[in-house]
Structure 1
Amino acid sequence: MNDSKDMGESSSHFSILQITDPHILATSEAKLLGVNTAHYFNAVLEHAFSSKRNFDFCLVTGDLAQDPCPASYQYILSQLETYNIPCVCLPGNHDDLEIMQVVLCTEQVNCRKRMVLGNWQIISLNSQIPGSEGGYLPEEELEFLEQTLKEHANFYTLIAVHHHCLPTGSRWMDTMMIENAQELFDLIKPYPMVKTIINGHIHQAMDVQLDCVRVLTTPSTCFQFKPQSERFSLDDTSPGYRWINLYTDGSMDSDIVRLPEFLKGVQANTQGY
């Protein structure tokens, strides 16, 4: 879907909830690396929506499913629809985009490529390489991005993508970053209205200012990867989410929030998943 959605211009700012990498399994009782991913997905959503923030929009930035089957996406759909706000979902390396587009295809929860929030636009890019854990932005995605930036040059812009575009300092993780990330940065350089890039995938938080663009990453709603690690490594840091406020003058605020509870059951000595 390449359609857009305009949510109006009545607010001085718009508040976005970003959640990422829930890794939902085919049944809500199943566990991944000892973690009940469905439990923590719901706990994060409940925590976010019980906060004092009133979210206008939700972004789910990939790896929605660990078992990419209709049941997984139907479960995600049922939980997201509970909160009655627009949600856009991006594919990650564990997802099946075709199934996502069939199941996550309601007015409220979908895979739209562009959303409009007042004088901001949110552009979603697909960095998935089918059959691979790594990321890449194919020509059609970069063409879509450039065309959208040209056609809507008066909009401040947030770009959302699954894979990371800057190194994390974890050698094993950085083998999976967007291979042609420099093409992305070169493309957006002539467009100063691009203010931020957000992604998932790395199961940890980063906040980097690169020239005029702020690059943000967000903890997973389930287990986290240990920062600055040579090999695959987990820690017991709590799941979390990110809030982002977009203001009409082009400025933004953002921070992460973690659940107050420790992660239970995680098998930290595992070699992968």
Structure 2
Amino acid sequence: MPTHTILQISDLHLLPHAGETMLGIDTEYYFHRVLDHAFAANPKIELILVTGDLTQDPYLDCYQRIEQKLQTYGIRCICLPGNHDDDALMQSALNVGRVSCNKQTFIGDWQIIALNSRIPGKPGGRLAKQELDFLEDCLRAYPDRHALIAVHHPCLTIASPWLDAMMIENSNEFLAVLHRYPKVEAVTCGHIHQVVDKQVESLRIFSAPSTCFQFEPKSLEFSVVDTAPGYRMIRLQRDGGLETAVYRLPEALSGLRPKADPY
């Protein structure tokens, strides 16, 4: 059966200047390494999905460097914002060539709907009424297309209290919309810098690891671990089936200093 292969990357946290480090990590170096590894292992990738926190502190030059790297692969790339991002700068720098901030993308018999869960100036997430209305408009307009929903913040708790405090505040409202449309197959997110994969009724809900440092699972407070950076591959099937798995760089994260500076 024909499939469409999507590469999901998340939480790049690029810094204002190439070569700068955070927590001892050169985040831009690992952004490049993760992409190169993914394409070497999966040459049939049709679309790149970037699920937020492209930068640590949003600067136009950061987004331009990201755009230049993404363009090298010559395929469509969809970027959505995280809590560390700036919507206006993203719109300015990431709507060039094959790279865009499109909120609705069609691929085969599927639609990918990208939502903005940012609350300006806050780390947590919420889906504004206009986002929920947009979501429902897309689902209502294309009832025969399978749907993958992409958003930065998670819509479920993950047994990590400090991160759970930042989940989508109105997740119940969000999930209620999704459950009204049987063609919604899955929700994917970023933000949590770790891998979650759950089944909630008919929905599969999962996350992507960060392309730089990872958060310690089930931690009470901020804590990072040297688990290798990674990415998620998503394969969409014509009948609505979905296969997905996470892959990581073959080497451990190098240089991590967990207490070097605040996240």
Q: 1:152 aligns with which of 139, 142, 145?
A: 142
Matched, 1:139 2:129: yes
**Does the 8 Å CA contact 1:19/1:242 hold for their aligned counterparts?**
yes
> Following TM superposition, by how much is the alpha carbon of 1:270 offset from its aligned partner in structure 2, in angstroms?
5.2
> In structure 2, what is the equivalent of residue 26 of structure 1?
16
Return 49-58 or 255-264, whichever deviates more. Answer: 49-58
Cα shift at 1:185? 0.7
Structure 2 portions without partners, runs of 5+: none
Q: Which amino acid aligns with 2:10?
A: T
Establish whether residue 223 from structure 1 lines up as the match of residue 213 from structure 2.
yes
Q: CA deviation at 1:235?
A: 0.5
Residue in structure 1 matched with residue 204 of structure 2 by the alignment: 214
Contact 2:23 2:259 in 1 (8 A): no
Q: Which of 140, 160, 166 does residue 170 from structure 1 map onto?
A: 160
Counterpart of 1:116 (choices 106, 120, 136) is 106
1:195-223 CA distance string (max 9 Å, x none): 00000000000100000100010110000
What is the match of residue 102 of structure 1? 92
Moved over 6 A (4+): none
Select 1:265's aligned residue among 247, 255, 258: 255
Measured in 1, the distance between the counterparts of 2:230 and 2:55 equals 17
**SS of residue paired to 1:202:** coil
Measure, in 2, the Cα distance between the counterparts of 1:186 and 1:94: 27
SS in 1 for 2:44: coil
Structure 1 pair 270/166, CA: closer, same or farther in 2 (3 Å)? farther
In structure 1, how many angstroms separate the alpha carbons of the residues matched to 2:145 and 2:96?
A: 25
3-state SS of paired residue (1:227): coil
- Return the TM-score normalized by structure 1: 0.95
Give the Å deviation of 1:271: 7.1
- Aligned residues: CA RMSD: 1.0
Paired letter, 1:54: K
- Which of these residues, 77, 102, 122, is aligned with residue 87 of structure 1? 77
Aligned to 2:173: 183
Return the alpha-carbon distance in structure 2 between the equivalents of residues 131 and 265 of structure 1: 30
Shift of 1:171: 0.5
Q: Is 1:49 aligned to residue 39 of structure 2?
A: yes
Return the TM-score normalized by structure 2: 0.98
| Contact kept? 1:223, 1:239, Cα under 8 Å | yes
1:38-70 superposed Cα distances (whole Å, 9 cap, x missing partner): 000000000000014410001000000112011
> Is residue 119 of structure 2 the alignment partner of residue 129 of structure 1?
yes
Deviates more, 1:51-60 or 1:145-154: 51-60
1:197 alignment counterpart:
187
Distance in 2 between residues matched to 1:211 and 1:197, nearest whole Å? 12
